[in-house]
Structure 1
Amino acid sequence: MSDENGTPDISSGPRPEPIRFFGTTWVEHDGGYGARRAAVCVGSLAAAAVSCLVLRFAYQGLRIAAVGAPVTLMVVVMFAVCSALAFSNTWGSFTKRPDPRRQASLRGLLTIGFVGSLLAYFLRSLTEAPGEKLHREEYESARAAHEKRASRRTGNPSRRRRS
């Protein structure tokens, strides 16, 4: 269902699901969508840079405390592995819905690897709003199903005249 300008009528049928920082501007790429995408891109990269600086201070704290090479190496490897896992998990969540139970079990690991999540957000925001492709596919399929149902039903069948 569209109006005379060809824009979809969202007053009936399914509504688009809002995306964090974008609301529903991802549907028509209006309402400052480009500026929001640029802000998310710059913001996530800046947050990742600040996070790396904080991690560097933590590393220097370990060196000052002289905890030893094995502990320092273990902490560095832990952050690297957790960041890589967080990156892949975040990147994958942009294309398909993650399993809530798996997400709950990975919450601690993803928290430790926050730099990877920020970098995934940055890279995805270079091309689209993070999660836009997934939301667009779901929204388009819901709209198509709604239009199919709406076109099939043309009124109350009990009021039809029989021939």
Structure 2
Amino acid sequence: MSDHTSSTDSTTSTPAGPQPEPIRFFGTTWVGHDGGYGLRRAGVAAGSLAAAVAGAFVLRFAYEGLAVADVGGFVNGLLVVMFAVCTSIAFGRTWQGFTRRPADPAREDALRSLKAIGFIGSLLAYFLRSLTEAPGEKLLRSEYETALARYEKRRSARTGNPATRKKKPQRP
């Protein structure tokens, strides 16, 4: 063993202060809008719209399969209403998720299957949000700026290392 190795290596240390939370497909480029942020946003918008269109075609083929099977008008109508309701709920929940954290994470987990059925709504929400910002950027930016402000406030309130302070002279 060598005595020259150090356990504190400056290249692997984490920077002081709060770190931004990465966003899917964007990493932390949303903080400074660098690293191809604009191209990533355009790619996410195009990709989510293309996936929504492809999903709509898949649902159309499923509907045509039911029509060929001649299951009846009631089942066809029920299927259309179910997908419309699930899509609107998925859109609303996904859109809300971009602006605030869920109040009840257990409820969001319970709605996961409903959001999977209405996946076109989630994809459309993702598309519309990516036209203006990275999906979830507004929420994460406000949390990050709040954490930075708290960190700076705590840091500025410190007066330095207490061990290096001069001791007050004692009165005789």
Amino acid in structure 1 at the alignment position of 2:127: F
Corresponding position of 2:71: 67
Amino acid in structure 1 at the alignment position of 2:22: P
| Uncovered stretches (5+) of structure 2, i.e. residues with no partner | 1-13
Please list the CA deviations of residues 54-106 of structure 1 after superposition, one character each: whole Å capped at 9, or x if unmatched.
00000000100100000110011000000000000000000001231111110
1:127 aligns with 2:132: yes
Quote how far apart the aligned CAs of 1:153 are.
1.2
Quote how far apart the aligned CAs of 1:156 are.
3.0
- Picking from 125, 131, 143, the partner of 1:138 is 143
- Picking from 54, 57, 60, the partner of 1:56 is 60
How many residue pairs end up in the alignment?
Answer: 154
Corresponding position of 1:152: 157
Normalised to the residue count of structure 1, the TM-score between the two structures is 0.91
Q: Distance in 2 between matches of 1:123 and 1:102?
A: 25
| Uncovered stretches (5+) of structure 1, i.e. residues with no partner | 1-9
Q: Percent identity?
A: 66
Corresponding position of 1:161: 166
Corresponding position of 1:43: 47
Please list the CA deviations of residues 92-138 of structure 1 after superposition, one character each: whole Å capped at 9, or x if unmatched.
00000123111111011111000000000000000000000000000
Normalised to the residue count of structure 2, the TM-score between the two structures is 0.86
Rg larger in structure:
2
Amino acid in structure 1 at the alignment position of 2:43: A
Cα RMSD between the aligned structures? Answer: 1.2
What SS does structure 2 have at the residue aligned with 1:130? coil
Written as runs of structure 1 = structure 2, the 5 A alignment for 1:5-24 is 11-24=15-28
Corresponding position of 1:33: 37
Amino acid in structure 2 at the alignment position of 1:21: F
1:109 aligns with 2:114: yes
Quote how far apart the aligned CAs of 1:155 are.
2.1
Q: Distance in 1 between matches of 2:83 and 2:22?
A: 32
1:92 aligns with 2:66: no
Write out the 4+ residue segments of structure 1 that deviate beyond 3 Å after TM superposition: none
